[in-house]
Amino acid sequence: MTDTTVRLSEAAVVFGEPLLAYVSNGLLRVRRRLWHIVESNSPMVTETSRHLIDGEGKLFRPLLTILGASLGPEPSSSRIIDAAVVCELTHLASLHHDDVMDEGTIRRGRPTVNVVWGNNVAVLTGDYLAAVAAEMCVDLGHQVQRLHAQTARRLVTGQMHETVGPASGQDEFEHYLSVARDKTASLISTSARLGALLAGAREESSILATATERLGIAFQIADDLADLTSGPTDRKPIGSDLRQGIATLPILYARAQARPQDERLLELVDSDLTDPCKLSEAMALLRNHPAVTMAKIDLHRYLRQCCEQLGELPDGPTKQALVTLAHVAVNHNWTNSFWSQLGDTRDGAA
């Protein structure tokens, strides 16, 4: 049995054969639409806009849109595909901007646009993709336009709050959660909600909005933990958040629950960690700190809340797939091998 056959068999277990075929076809259509919709009369704009589309993207948000649509009476409308593309374009725009702010060098298995063409081009590429998404929303109706605009506002607000830190007197944990809700969870929630809405599943759309908002918070916590416990990913090298001084949830718990023996850890966390030796030492100390376990407890609490909310959906393969997908999405040891199980949608991009 080939490796590809094994992966497809695992995907069939998660989705079931009919739903797997529907999802794989939808993702193929999304990637093709992405490729063509960003084309510009400027070859430079086209090249930079397709740079991440050609990478190893998981299309997690379009997948949620397609699964949400499968709950409604009109799951195969071209409007569903366009909504999924809007969500991915919005996500891609934020990635380009993030890479400039974080000085990122690798994204989706390839050098970032800011590394290849410079920060100015990366910012403009993000702006262009956001503009294409906004233009597509016009044809999807006023409700989609409003929801997309509200989500874009939350994305920027979350990034701004993460950048400037908590306000004077604000609880650091509440600040962290507000950033996670806006910067990460808002677009994940909107992606699932739009699919159900456009397919005519309004009641299910409300359930998905709440459930996937909680999933988004769990997703962010999982990302924080992966920065400490996983190897380098297609998103960033290991330890990037720590090196940049980002107050992730494990760091917050380490500060709040500091023990006498944590003096060296706190000293390192507050220092310049561009030195690889100091960074490695800080990561080793943090990995063995109870803060990691506390963050994992929070992750599983939000994941449990998500799955409980998904339990209100009608019984069927989509409900089960969403519950399983929620667990996959926060498991970084599984996700890198999981997404290709849906079939290689890159073949038809051009």
- Return the percent helix, strand and coil in the chain, to nearest 5: 75, 0, 25
Look at residue 230 in the predicted model and tell me its pLDDT: 62
C-alpha 38/C-alpha 192 separation (Å) is: 23
Of 30, 46, 186, 203, which is closest to residue 113 (Cα–Cα)? 46
Answer whether 185's CB lies under 8 Å from 215's CB. Answer: yes
C-alpha 14/C-alpha 20 separation (Å) is: 8
**Between the CA of residue 45 and those of 123, 125, 127, 286, what are the distances in Å?**
12, 7, 11, 42
Look at residue 333 in the predicted model and tell me its pLDDT: 59
The tokens describing 278, both together, are 């100091």
pLDDT tens-digit series, residues 22-63: 998 999 999 999 999 999 999 999 999 999 998 878 899 999
Which residues fall within 8 angstroms of residue 166, CB to CB, at 6 or more apart? 172, 175
The tokens describing 290, both together, are 């109870």
pTM recorded for the entire structure: 0.91
Look at residue 331 in the predicted model and tell me its pLDDT: 84
Look at residue 341 and tell me whether its pLDDT is greater than 90.
no
Look at residue 224 in the predicted model and tell me its pLDDT: 93
Q: Above pLDDT 90, what percent of the chain?
A: 73
Look at residue 302 and tell me whether its pLDDT is greater than 90.
yes
pLDDT tens-digit series, residues 243-272: 888 899 999 999 998 999 999 999 999 998
C-alpha 165/C-alpha 254 separation (Å) is: 17
Look at residue 189 and tell me whether its pLDDT is greater than 70.
yes
DSSP string, 71-133: TSS-TT-HHHHHHHHHHHHHHHHHHHHHHHHHT--EETTEE-HHHHT-HHHHHHHHHHHHHHH
Answer whether 73's CB lies under 8 Å from 199's CB. Answer: yes
Q: Which domains does the chain have, with CATH numbers?
A: 3-348 (1.10.600.10)
pLDDT tens-digit series, residues 198-254: 999 999 999 999 999 999 999 999 999 988 876 544 456 678 888 888 899 999 999
